[in-house]
Structure 1
């Protein structure tokens, strides 16, 4: 298979075969572009094709027809057909963060609700597992692989995951019906490019369900950091269907965080916000276009939030997301 040159107008240049995605070739050559799901559904790896031609290796589901017509591509889905020039940034903060496959044992399983558990994993003492708060990992149980955001911080010895049951899910069947303490699993990670980039703006976090996990990690490491001096507001909007699903009650020693719970199917005792998290955030948040936005959770929420924020003139480079794409 022929090799083509992929250049970025922001610096990186590398070779890529016509049967390898631009994203995978970048990683192989030591560069890290934006990505999340790697299946074409979330749109995080979207960039502009400035010169040359590409072929689709898998469907670019997240792109609209108008985006395709304006020469936007998903680097996880496309391979070069010729030499190409794209507009993609190499994320230097992730250099030195090595993706590893490691054994892990279940240390604890805590049941929050019938459909939400909290699992801690312990790694070998020599694992040297490094990650940036906000990243995710894959858990491998026999032949089943699923992705979960890391809820713990890099300063902690164990890895914490928040896991939600999906009906008829193969991995859900394991977690909720068979998993026990000391089970041996494998993990592969860290992965993803969801991490704190800009703390020089007001921070606005949007989460649905267990999408709160990476936000827990980001906020807790900020709270732990003696060098971090909060200069701007930090606001979290967390949406769930039912009141009992708000399983995290944050307690910060150093951060001042406005924490807003949004319930879409409340009971009579609910006194918080009602509706969808992105709608409530747009109603209540002044000057949203001046914020750095971090959204994690359902792909539907993320796409709806992005559209609403675009209508409010938020620059796209101030919107960071990690979509949960469901697998069974």
Structure 2
């Protein structure tokens, strides 16, 4: 039985299981997810989708429904394709159109750890072995309010507990709760998983660029990579923060460097009065070799100004990465335009 991650256009992801000899459309409809479908026999192309990773049998269809060029690019018809392995599939419709939505989970607060004066980590338990793609986020209901905040997992998929990083700011709703009111066992509700910023199949060198608490999704990705390997490709991370006190998670990164062959990381601090040996922004500390002449997949998670600066720097260098995936976040954790993934040529 294959496990399928369905990514919808509005950012929600649903996981389903596909039985032997069952098409993706059949498996979806069996659990009440109505992928757009008209003919169901490979003639109309209405159920066209994109397979991001995994192996499948494309089935039978006519050229008008799916061209050879489209099939070569990873497009498939949900009514015909049968998974051979676990898949990640982009559905060209919103979750609402497909009559589904993000799942709501009930969990308990397990721990709150102050990593520095500016960063808090918290972990949840009781939600089970949650399925998500490494790099994705959930919308957490702040206890005692009707407000939700978005946080990326820092723990890998399949872990018994789910972990997150929070920027401690005044008067941030979630950070105030964690700082002043949180008690182990407190009920926490979250909805998800969501986001198109997630680790794809590793087919070339990877360059990870993290800003501040944007380190969280990379910790999740590295947790998965430690389990599955790098397919022989190098993985380099450049992690930048504003002030010395913001630099957290270095012990975890060092542990990953010891576990993952080919993984390296570099830290830097932007503040001019920093005592860190590497000052400045991440662009100043990217070894040219990390870009591999453009044959590299770049993943970037940080505040909007950082994303814009890196994109401009790449243009100045005349480098167009094979893929450029990025996620912008608000320091408060407020739900914003988040989880965007764009090819560099876009």
Shorter-chain TM-score bucket reads 0.5 to 0.7
Change (3 A) 1:283 1:143: same
Equivalent residue, structure 1, for 2:180: 177
| Number of residue pairs aligned between Structure 1 and Structure 2 | 249
Q: Distance in 2 between matches of 1:98 and 1:282?
A: 42
Q: Deviations over 1:281-318 (max 9, x none)?
A: 27674535221100001111112112222333444661
User: How big is the shift at 1:102?
Assistant: 1.1
Equivalent residue, structure 1, for 2:207: 204
Equivalent residue, structure 2, for 1:9: none
Change (3 A) 1:200 1:103: same
Are 1:257 and 2:263 matched, yes or no? Answer: yes
Are 1:93 and 2:88 matched, yes or no? Answer: yes
TM alignment of 1:270-309, pairs within 5 A: 270-271=276-277, 273-281=278-286, 285=290, 287=292, 289-309=294-314
Equivalent residue, structure 1, for 2:137: 136
Q: Distance in 2 between matches of 1:276 and 1:229?
A: 27
Q: Distance in 2 between matches of 1:307 and 1:265?
A: 21
Equivalent residue, structure 1, for 2:196: 193
**TM-score when scaled to structure 2?**
0.63
Q: Distance in 2 between matches of 1:153 and 1:146?
A: 20
Equivalent residue, structure 1, for 2:121: 118
Change (3 A) 1:136 1:302: same
2:315 to 287, 310, 317: 310
1:113 is paired with a residue whose SS is coil
Equivalent residue, structure 2, for 1:167: 170
Q: Is the 8 A contact 2:130 2:159 kept in 1?
A: no
Q: Is the 8 A contact 2:131 2:158 kept in 1?
A: no
Are 1:152 and 2:155 matched, yes or no? Answer: yes
1:232 is paired with a residue whose SS is coil
Q: Distance in 2 between matches of 1:304 and 1:29?
A: 40
TM alignment of 1:11-50, pairs within 5 A: 23-24=9-10, 30=35
1:287 is paired with a residue whose SS is helix
1:206 is paired with a residue whose SS is strand
Q: Is the 8 A contact 1:289 1:313 kept in 2?
A: no
Structure 1 residue runs of 5 or longer lacking an equivalent are: 1-21, 34-88
- Quote the RMSD (CA, aligned, Å): 3.3
Q: Distance in 1 between matches of 2:308 and 2:34?
A: 31
**TM-score when scaled to structure 1?**
0.67
Q: Is the 8 A contact 1:278 1:301 kept in 2?
A: no
Q: Distance in 2 between matches of 1:314 and 1:29?
A: 41
Q: Deviations over 1:64-95 (max 9, x none)?
A: xxxxxxxxxxxxxxxxxxxxxxxxx89x6156
